[in-house]
Amino acid sequence: MMDKRRIAITVGAVVLVAGVVAGRERPTLELIEARPAAAQVADDGIDLQKLRRGEGALPHTDPFARRNFGGENHASAPRGPAAAKPAAPQLPFQYFGRLTENGKTEVFVMRGEELITVADGKTIGEYRVDKVDEKSIAFTYLPLKTKQKLDFQ
User: Is 73 exposed, middle or buried (CB count within 10 Å of its CB: 0-12, 13-18, 19+)?
Assistant: exposed
Q: 72 lies in a domain? A: no
Residue 69 located in a structural domain: no
pLDDT score of 25 more than 90: no
Query: For residue 139, which phi and psi values (nearest 5 degrees)?
Result: -115, 160
Count of domains for the chain: 1
* Coil, strand or helix at 5: helix
In a domain, 12, yes or no: no
- Residues 1 and 56: their CA atoms lie apart, in Å, by 92
What's residue 109's pLDDT? 95
Write the DSSP assignment of 112-148 as a string of letters. TTEEEEE-TT-EETTEEEEEE-SSEEEEEETTTTEEE
110 lies in which domain range?
Answer: 94-151
Buried b (16+ CB within 10 A) or exposed e, 36-56: eeeeeeeeeeeeeeeeeeeee
Is residue 122 in some structural domain? Answer: yes
Q: Which residue has better confidence, 4 or 78?
A: 4
Asked if the model's pLDDT at residue 127 lies above 50, the reply is: yes
- pTM score, whole prediction: 0.46
Phi first, then psi: give them for residue 47, nearest 5 degrees: -100, 105
User: Whole-angstrom Cα distance, residue 88 to residue 125?
Assistant: 14
Q: Please determine, for residue 41, whether its predicted confidence score (pLDDT) is greater than 50.
A: no
The C-alpha atoms of residue 79 and residue 62 are separated, in whole angstroms, by 16
Residue 127 counted as domain residue:
yes
